[in-house]
Structure formats: structure tokens, C-alpha cells
């Protein structure tokens, strides 16, 4: 969801840099890329270790949570996200959301976009769900979401959309096809990667062609 459906990655950077200010440090892209797509605990531990911050997880998380509660409410939809979701639901294509965000943060981030996220119905699995035993890159969250969507589904029936390499790896571990939506704002190199493990790499959901995967094609005007 983060960085794929909602433009929250810029907010994460804003929050992180605000916390780093008293330590005269800035948030390096190399560290951000290692954190993207991971659960809060793992991502925070990476940040604290990379920047050698004199903070415990609890101390950092407390500051970050309060800032996130303010800034995440302003998160905008990513280009092409609403179009794709409305297209799939209009054609009765089953969809599910699997996000590393906690349920509390999910509600805050999606507050102003409730009519869009209602399209998922009850098929929303968050990172703090008790059935998700292991965080990405483990496949747990995708397999849990699949079983809840339709218990007759097989991994090969699923197509995962991910903005983070860590999430693509989780899809691979679940034996699912994946679309890596590679936001080039968060890349260490302007050139596209020569190798990746996703089924397909695109740089925006606007570039996704449903018909390529046997899904109903977009109609003119969408």
C-alpha cells in the first residue's frame, strides 16, 4: 500500500528527517531502500543501526508515531491507483490488500480515501494481524490475504503489485507473479536495473496493462 497506492514514502522521509535533526543527520537513500516494504520493527532497527542513533526502538517509535498521526492523514493516492482499483472491482475481479502497516496506521493513512479503500471490502490484511507470523520478505502476509480472499485460490492464480524489492521477494517466496512498480524517485541510480526478480517492472500504475495478464482491458476514457 505504502508507495504503491498511497504516496506515503515521501512522508516517511519527512518524519524521519525531522527526528534526525537534533543529531545533525539526514536520511540516506541507501538506508531508505533497505527499509521500504518492511515491518515497523525491522525498518526502525535498520535505521538505528545504519545511522548509529542513541535511541532505543521504543524511543524512536514513540516520536515517529506521533508525527505519522499528523502527516499520514494528508497522504495522496498514487497516479493510476484509484483507476486500477475501480476498474478491477467494476469487472468483478477479486482484490485484496496486504500491507505491512498496522491496523491503526492503515486507518489513519486511508481516512480521506475511505471510498477507495472500501473497494477491498473485508479483504484487508495488516502487518500486525495475528495470522501473519513472519514479516516480508516471508510470504505469510500474501498467503494469508489469498486464503481470506478465496480459499480455492492457488499462488499461481495471484498477481501481486509491489513498490519495494523486499515485497517482490515476498511475492516470489509465495510463488506468486508480481508487478514491481518502481518509483524512480526512490532509486540510487537514474538508469533502470538490468536485472530484477519480478514478473514485470513498470515505473507507475499508469503503465499497467490489465489485458497483458488476462484481465479486462481498460476502456477508452479510463
Contact 9, 2 (CB under 8 A): yes
* Share of the chain residues as helix, strand and coil, in percent rounded to the nearest 5: 50, 10, 40
Whether 222 shows a pLDDT value over 80: the answer reads no
Is this structure's pTM higher than 0.85?
yes
Contact 171, 179 (CB under 8 A): no
What whole-number distance in Å separates Cα of residue 7 and Cα of residue 102? 17
- Mean pLDDT, the chain, whole residue set: 94
What whole-number distance in Å separates Cα of residue 68 and Cα of residue 144? 27
Whether 46 shows a pLDDT value over 60: the answer reads yes
Q: pLDDT for 113-161, tens place per residue?
A: 999 999 999 999 999 999 999 999 999 999 999 999 999 999 999 999 9
Structure confidence at residue 37 (pLDDT):
83
Confidence band, pLDDT 50/70/90 cuts, at residue 67 = very high
Structure confidence at residue 186 (pLDDT):
83
- Among candidates 162, 158, 195, which has minimal Cα distance to 177? 158
Q: pLDDT for 191-213, tens place per residue?
A: 667 678 999 999 999 999 999 99
Amino acid at each position: 500500500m505504502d508507495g504503491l497506492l498511497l504516496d506515503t514514502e515521501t512522508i516517511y522521509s519527512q518524519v524521519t528527517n525531522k527526528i534526525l535533526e537534533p543529531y545533525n543527520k539526514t536520511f540516506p537513500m541507501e538506508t531508505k531502500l533497505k527499509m521500504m516494504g518492511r515491518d515497523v520493527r525491522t525498518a526502525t532497527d535498520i535505521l538505528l543501526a545504519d545511522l548509529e542513533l542513541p535511541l532505543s526502538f521504543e524511543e524512536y517509535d514513540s516520536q515517529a508515531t506521533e508525527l505519522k498521526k499528523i502527516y499520514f492523514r494528508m497522504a495522496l493516492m498514487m497516479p493510476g491507483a484509484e483507476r486500477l482499483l475501480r476498474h478491477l472491482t467494476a469487472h468483478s475481479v477479486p482484490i485484496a490488500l496486504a500491507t505491512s502497516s498496522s491496523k491503526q496506521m492503515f486507518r489513519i493513512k486511508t481516512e480521506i480515501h475511505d471510498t477507495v479503500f472500501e473497494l477491498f471490502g473485508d479483504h484487508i490484511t495488516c502487518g500486525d494481524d495475528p495470522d501473519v507470523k513472519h514479516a516480508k520478505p516471508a510470504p505469510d502476509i500474501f498467503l494469508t490475504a489469498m486464503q481470506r480472499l478465496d480459499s480455492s485460490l492457488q499462488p499461481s492464480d495471484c498477481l501481486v503489485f509491489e513498490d519495494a524489492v523486499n515485497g517482490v521477494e515476498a511475492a516470489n517466496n509465495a510463488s506468486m507473479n508480481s508487478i514491481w512498480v518502481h518509483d524512480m524517485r526512490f532509486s540510487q541510480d537514474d538508469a533502470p536495473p538490468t536485472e530484477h526478480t519480478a514478473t514485470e517492472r513498470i515505473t507507475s500504475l499508469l503503465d499497467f496493462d490489465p489485458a497483458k495478464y488476462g484481465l479486462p482491458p481498460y476502456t477508452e476514457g479510463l
